[in-house]
Structure 1
Amino acid sequence: MKSKTKPVITPAQIDALIKKHFGKDVSAGNIQELTGGWFNAAFRVQVPSKNLDLVLKAGPAPGARIFTYEQKAMETEIAMLKLLEKHPAIPVPKLYAVDLDCDVVPGKCFFMDHLSGSPWNKIRKQVSLENHVAVEKEFAAIQMAINAIKGDYFGFLVLNDDGRIKRGTWHAAFGDLFTTLLEDYARFGIKVPSFATRAVSLLIEHEPSFRPVTTPSLVHWDLWEGNIFLEHDDGMFHVQGITDFERALWADPYMEVAFWTPKRHATLVDCYGRDAFEARDVQIRRAFYDLYLSAIMYLEQYTRGYTWLFSKGIRLYSLARARQAMQSLSRA
């Protein structure tokens, strides 16, 4: 996918990065651009002399228009890979090298293992119903293992240079997330949709529903089927690994994006506990998380450089999701 946030990187630059981190006599072999994402540039890079099959992931070049919560995206992804490699129950690619100097390519970058499997969303039709339930249970176990890691504060996993966001309560931290997003709208000169300003005002009224979240949990916040890789073994698909950790934060586990589509992920909801998920306070918080994500998607149409048709689809979808979330709050 083409996006204004993706840096332009040449094969010669990739080869220079390989030499910088793996040895001056080491060269990159086959290089293939991975076009699925919207934020970072990614390339599959084979290094024959080291018998390595890697992914180079590079963040936006300095000066790119990015959101406040994205300012430390690459550092967050690197921190997550280092943190999660200590937890065997959470399958993540091995991190090989980190380059934050921006002296070879325009963005901060790192090399990690290439996952040989396929994204779940790409092969969903190949997975039988029985196998799908099994995969969903594996997915739930992985996500719950991530959420079981606890922090000392609510907010960004890696703080921005100005120290944001780090708060003692989840309500305060989430309020900061939404407020900084509205600041991004102003910074980009984009009119804030009415549902977003309304949501911020309603946060004060619904503060009691945030009180049950007393312990900061690690939240991936982008663990959808496109970031879950499956491999086929013994006649069944299994989760091979998960990727894309740049949105991770210390938050409420119910902020995970899979809960955006509870019917699609019914087995996941059952693993967490359906009664707990359907509790009034959780549903109120879920409505706010949907509003926040809808406000992000609505703004992305102006900052990512999408095609006109794709931008229209994103706009209509985000507005529809926001209406549903507002209706949920009105019924609460």
Structure 2
Amino acid sequence: MLTKTPVSDHQVAAIVAPLGTVRRVEPLSGGLFASVLRADLDAGRRVVVKVTGADMSRLLRYEHGLLGTEAAVNRLGHDAGLPVPRVLLTDTSRRHVDGDAMVVTFLEGDLWSALELEPLATARARRSLGAFMARLHAIVPGARFGYPAPESGLSADTWPDALTAMIRAALDDAARWGVDLPGDRLLAVAARHRDLLAAVTAPRLVHADLWEGNLLLDRSEGTVCGVLDAERALWGDPLFELVGADQFGAGAVDPDLLAGYRQAGGELGLGDGTPGSGDPDAWTRLQLYRAYFACLLTVEVVPRGYTGDRRDWQATHAHANLERILGELDPRG
């Protein structure tokens, strides 16, 4: 089972010493891999300390180098005026704690996943999220496709090459943890659509984990005012963003999300969000990304040590989605 690196108040104080004196430390919820703590400093300053453990034995391949990715993406997002934490310092020396540390600004707001929103409020928040996506994807393209952390080894000069490497890594992880996946079918489908994937020529920054647990809402406006945990970000097709925002989705895409994306000047080619509307190639690419993500969700329950209903539900639903999507992309089986 995954275990977080324990971090004491004394260790927090040592990590943030270049920024000020710690007055109070409080643990924050969330984060499967990292210990996350809020630190109140002198002069009323509040920061968040995130520490990822040195042990990578139970990480999937794409999860290597998470802290470096998150720091880099937060810097890019902050420079672009997006509501992401500002990186104050990173510490990979491991002098103070057995792991790598990052300190960022504390963002005010209500965690979306903890709220019960009425339909109109949900629609407003979804449009706001779509607008954030469009602004993120408008950041100057990267130099290569795939996951940026050198530790993962999952980047390439073209999108089809990067996606193929990502799929192969997921299948290698499945073999390592004894999870049976239809790998040959998935690789064959990706190869069959290589030209379609190659139409994606600009590596766009994709957060890839924009579910409600990583989003803060403004209490008065009901719009997204903070975006957290960019550790799984990659450079690729903007359509990939929709998978991270609806991780078990396999059909329609939320129309309010698409409306917000368009209102912010972007276009994803999915029409009104109903399968069959919009650009057929865009829908095919989306389904390929959903299939890849279903592989990750199916495999991760083992190294993460999920048990009981949670393990059964996730593994069953993710594998069923994978089979359904492959059936649509490759009716011949």
TM tier, shorter chain?
Answer: 0.7 to 0.9
Matching of residue 62 in structure 1 with residue 55 in structure 2: yes
- Does the C-alpha gap of structure 1 residues 274 and 183 become closer, same or farther in structure 2, counting only changes over 3 Å? closer
Q: Deviations over 1:206-237 (max 9, x none)?
A: 2232132111111110111111100212xx31
Change (3 A) 1:310 1:52: same
Question: Using the alignment, how far apart are the partners of 1:157 and 1:144 within structure 2?
Answer: 20
Structure 2 residue 13 is matched with structure 1 residue 15: yes
Shift of the alpha carbon at 1:263?
4.6
Counterpart for residue 96 of structure 1: 88
Task: Identify unmatched segments of 5+ residues in structure 1.
Answer: none
Q: For residue 39 of structure 1, what is the aligned residue in structure 2?
A: 33
User: What letter corresponds to residue 11 of structure 2 in structure 1?
Assistant: Q
More divergent stretch after superposition (322-331 vs 259-268): 259-268
Per the alignment, residue 76 of structure 1 pairs with 69
Residue 218 of structure 2 aligns to a residue whose secondary structure is: strand
Residue in structure 2 matched with residue 242 of structure 1 by the alignment: 227
Contact 2:128–2:257 under 8 Å retained in 1: no
| Aligned-partner Cα distance in 2 for 1:92–1:67 | 25
Q: Distance in 1 between matches of 2:272 and 2:119?
A: 26
TM-score by length of 1: 0.87
Work out whether residues 218 and 253 of structure 1, in 8 Å CA contact, stay in contact via their aligned partners in 2.
yes
Q: 1:243 to 1:99 in 2, by over 3 A?
A: same
Q: Is the 8 A contact 1:5 1:66 kept in 2?
A: no
Say yes or no: does 1:274 pair with 2:274: no
Using the alignment, how far apart are the partners of 1:276 and 1:169 within structure 2?
29
Q: In structure 2, what is the equivalent of residue 251 of structure 1?
A: 236
Q: Aligned match of 2:104 in 83, 105, 112?
A: 112
Cα deviation, 1:15-54, whole Å, max 9, x if unaligned, reads 22233x335xx2x23322222222222112212x131221
Residue 134 (structure 1) shift: 2.5
Q: Is 2:173 the counterpart of 1:184? A: yes
1:124-139 matches, within 5 Å, as 125=116, 127-139=117-129
Q: Which residue of 2 aligns with 1:309?
A: 309
What's the offset of the Cα at 1:306? 2.2
Question: How big is the shift at 1:63?
Answer: 4.4
Q: AA paired with 1:239?
A: V
Question: Matched residues in 2 for 1:69 and 1:111: separation?
Answer: 23
Distance in 2, matches of 1:9 and 1:111, equals: 14
Cα distance, 1:63–1:191 mapped onto 2, change above 3 Å? closer
Deviates more, 1:57-66 or 1:283-292: 57-66
d(CA) in 2 for partners of 1:63 and 1:152? 27
RMSD of aligned Cα (Å): 2.3
* 1:325 corresponds to: 325
Work out the percentage of aligned pairs sharing the same amino acid: 26
- Cα distance change of structure 1 residues 64 and 114 upon mapping to structure 2, 3 Å threshold: farther
Give the secondary structure class of the aligned counterpart of 2:54.
coil
Match of 1:159 in 2: 150
Displacement of 1:57 after TM fit?
0.9
Q: Select which of 116, 120, 137 maps to 1:147.
A: 137
Residues 305-327 of structure 1, C-alpha deviation per residue, up to 9 Å, x if partnerless?
A: 22333222221121122123223
* 2-structure distance, mates of 1:35, 1:259: 21
Which runs of 5 or more structure 2 residues have no equivalent in the other structure? none
CA separation in 1, counterparts of 2:312 and 2:120? 37
Q: Give me the whole-angstrom Cα distance separating, in 2, the residues matched to 1:135 and 1:276.
A: 18
Shift of 1:130: 2.9
Alpha-carbon contact 1:77-1:245 (below 8 Å) kept:
yes
On the 8 A contact 1:218/1:249 being kept in 2, the answer is: yes
Task: Flag the structure with higher helix content.
Answer: 1
Q: 1:12 to 1:309 in 2, by over 3 A?
A: farther
Q: Give the drift of 1:328.
A: 2.6
**1:199 corresponds to 2:186:** yes
Q: How does 1:207-246 map to 2 (within 5 A)?
A: 207-233=194-220, 236-246=221-231
Query: Partners in 1 of 2:219 and 2:180 — Cα distance?
Result: 44
- Inter-CA distance 52–198: structure 2 relative to 1 (3 Å threshold): same
